[in-house]
Each structure stands twice: as C-alpha cells, then as structure tokens.
A = this chain, B = another copy of it.
Amino acid sequence: MQRFEEACHKVLTEQANQALQYGATEGYTPLRELIANNMARYGIKVKAENVLITSGSQQALDLIGKLFINAGDRVLVEAPTYLGALQAFNIYGAEYVSVPSDENGLCTDQLEEPLRSGPKFMYVLPNFQNPAGTTLSEGRRQELVLLADRYGIPIVEDDPYGQLRYEGEHLPSLVVLDRENLRRDEGYSIGNVIYLSTFSKTLAPGLRLGWIVAPPDVIGKLAQLKQGADLHTSTFTQFVAYEVARDGFLDKHVKVIRQVYRERRDVMLQALQEFFPAEVTWTHPQGGLFLWVNLPKGLDIQAVFRSALEQNVAFVPGDSFYANDPQEGSRHMRLNFSNATPEQIREGIRRLAAAVKSHLTATTRRSEMTLGV
C-alpha cells in the first residue's frame, strides 16, 4: 500500500495533467515499455509497439472475439478451458471444437482433425491452466506451434499466471517457439501467436490492466476495436501501475507472491492427501492459482456444492469450464489456493472432504440399492 500511495502522490503532483486526461488508445508508452522489458526476460522479445494495454485480460479476450469471430465461426479450445474466455467469445456467436487435455496439458496428438475443421483460432493456456492447473509440456508446445503453422490457424496464448511458478523450470512461451521454430522475423512483424497477460495476479486485479502482444498490424486492428469499445484504458491506473511496477518493484513483489502462494498450494496438496478418500484424485499445479479435483463417477456435484456451502466452503463446479459438454465437468471441481490463509485452506479442505465423503457414501448406497432391486 505504501508503494501505491507513493505512486499516487507522484502521479498527482508531477503528472496530473496527463494522468487525468485522455490518452492514446494503445496505452501509456512507459508502461508498454516496462511490459516489453519485463517479458524479454521470459524470452518474449518485443517492442513497446507490439503491446496494447487492455482493460484487464477480459477485454483482450473480448477484442479478439470481436476481431476474429463471426456468428457460427469455430474456436478451438481445451477441455476444460477458462470460463471467462467462453463468455467473451459466446457473445460473438462462437461455436467450439474442444480438444481434451491431460496432466501435460492439451493433447496435441488429437489436434490435427480439429485443426482441419478450420477454426478461426485456437485458444490455449499453457501455464498452470485455468481451471485444471496443468502445464503444457515442452514437447507438446513445439508440436502445437508447428501444427498451427501447418494449418494456418492463429494461436491465442493466454498467460495470466506465467510468472507465478513454484517449482520446475520456466518453459518457453508459444510466441517464442513460434518465432524460433519458424524463423520468424526478429522484429516480430509477423507471427502466428497472439499473447495475453495481465497485472491482475501480480499487482492488483482492481486496476483492470492487461495487455496483448502481437505483430503491429494485429495491434493496429485491435486498437481500432478498442477505440470503439472504451477509447482507452484509464490513464490514471496506467500511470499509477507504472510508478508502482518500475525500478524492479514488480519483480520483488512477484517473488513475495510466489513464496506465499507456493506455501498455500503445498498446504492444500497436503490437506487433500490427508482428508480426501482414495477414490478422489487431483492435479499437482507447478504454479498459478488453481487445482483441479477429479471425483468418482456418479457423484452429484451440485449436491456436493450445496453441502460444501452449508459448511462455508466454496469451489467452482467443473461444468462451467466445458465449451461443448458441461456434463464432462460434472465430476470435477476447481479449487483456488491463492486467496486464503494456510489455516483456512486446511480447515476448508477438511470440511470439503467431509461433504464429498457424505455424498460418496450416498452414491455407494444408491448403487447398492440399485443392485439390490
């Protein structure tokens, strides 16, 4: 808060005239530069003009929907995938081709057929996926980029959590592999990948600041759409975010977040191990915020949800994350380990396990009764 206060003070005393005025649709140049520099350390070498500031990542999804999707167009998505993306694309009348994923992310061996069906683009979250918490393996990343290029299908790479890795090595982004593998132009003037990220998980979601990285002609088109959508993102929040993030503060802050969230993830994994019955499995996220729980078949997820709520524990039932077949999600729940203390997490998982167990027994009992008929 100290840092935010100092940033507000500086912006309002030294730059108030600009910070409270209209600004460029593309965003505040120093912030775009800071983002470009920051991404370069993850191998994504771009210039400020490749960066479009958006009003949160959600707006990035909306602008991409606006640019690519006409009613009835197909979008290739993972199953499960991020609910907010489906909400953004649905408005433009998107239909979906879903490709299953496993613990190594999108199953690229099942990708050719869907790519052949001519989707407008594919939407993937390679790092610590929302909702599944899985990470796309390096081999599959290579394959994905090559297949997308072969079929001429653009990739939208959504990477809100990429900096929040708690174990293992950073894996190259699709936007980087696209350039390396396909020897794209150094200046990122062409390319098959549109990359999205955000300050929501590293600075503050309430700022609503995200960004799109793309070749200049795509940025130009998206900026035109953004101009019609909200003219530009709040100059004030952009100036404040820049002052907060600059001079290495963002890096230091991300390190703190990593430490806090890693501990919370570990507590949740441990509690799941301790309290959940053997029939239940879950993913082991290497980063991010989410963990995906697989329940035995036949369990009524909505009943589990109600029981959990009675115990003041919430989760997101899996059905919202499937574009084509919500039923597929009915055996899953998404848990968020980032927004509670270790004590709360442990107690929450204990209660959730009790709720699950009570319904497991009921399910078993029902089966027995059925068998008995």
A90 CB contacts on chain B under 8 angstroms: 228
| Contacts A1-B12, A9-B5, A13-B1; A206 near B235 (Cβ below 8 A) | yes
Complex contacts, A19 vs chain B, CB 8 Å? 206
Nearest B residue to A229 via CB reads: B62
Measured CB to CB, the closest approach of chain B to A14, in angstroms, equals 10
| Cβ contact within 8 Å between B88 and A205 | no
B1 touches A5 (CB 8 A): no
Give A172-201 interface residues, CB cut-off 8 Å to B. Answer: none
- A133 located at the interface, meaning its Cβ lies under 8 Å from any Cβ of chain B in the complex: no
Cβ-defined contact, A59 with B205, below 8 A: no
Which of the candidate stretches A20-28, A155-163, A327-335, A340-348 sits at the interface with the other chain?
Answer: A20-28
A171 touches B (CB below 8 Å): no
B13 touches A227 (CB 8 A): no
Which residues of chain B are within 8 angstroms of A8 by Cβ–Cβ distance?
5, 8-9, 12
Residue from the list B59, B61, B234 in contact with A237, Cβ < 8 A: B234
Q: Are A22 and B206 in contact (CB under 8 A)?
A: yes
- Complex-state Cα separation, A88 to B13, whole angstroms: 34
Does A290 interact with chain B (Cβ within 8 Å)? no
Residue of B66, B204, B230 touching A230 (CB-CB under 8 A):
B230
**B5 x A56 contact (CB < 8 A):** no
Complex Cα gap A13–B62 (Å): 33
Q: Roughly how many angstroms separate A319 CA and B30 CA in the complex, as a whole number?
A: 34
For window 231-261 of A, CB contacts with B under 8 Å fall at 231-237, 240
Within 1-42 of A, Cβ neighbours of B (below 8 Å) are at 1, 4-5, 8-9, 12-13, 16, 18-23
Q: Is A91 an interface residue (CB 8 A)?
A: yes
Find out whether the CB atom of A205 lies under 8 angstroms from the CB atom of B16. Answer: no
A114 at the interface (CB under 8 A from B): no
* Contact, CB under 8 Å: B236 / A91: no
CB pair A58–B4 under 8 Å, yes or no, is no
Q: Is the CB of A62 within 8 A of B208?
A: no
Given A91-B66, A228-B62, decide whether A233 and B204 contact each other with a Cβ distance below 8 A: no
Residues of B contacting A66 with CB < 8 Å?
91
Q: Are B208 and A88 in contact (CB under 8 A)?
A: no
Residues of the B chain whose Cβ atoms lie less than 8 Å from the Cβ of A231? 56, 58, 84, 208
A88 / chain B contacts, CB cutoff of 8 Å: 228-229
Specify which of B56, B204, B230, B237 is in contact with A21 (CB 8 Å cutoff): B204
Contact of A20 among B4, B56, B61, B232 (CB under 8 A): B4
A13 shortest CB reach to chain B, Å: 7
A81 at the interface (CB under 8 A from B): no
For the complex of A and B, 6 pairs with smallest distance between CB atoms: A20-B204, A206-B235, A8-B8, A20-B206, A55-B230, A59-B230
What 12 additional pairs, Cβ within 8 angstroms, besides A5-B8, A55-B233, A61-B228? Answer: A4-B12, A8-B12, A22-B205, A55-B208, A62-B229, A88-B228, A204-B236, A208-B232, A208-B235, A229-B229, A230-B230, A234-B237
Contact sample, A vs B, 8 pairs, CB 8 Å cutoff: A20-B204, A22-B205, A62-B228, A66-B91, A87-B227, A88-B229, A207-B234, A236-B237
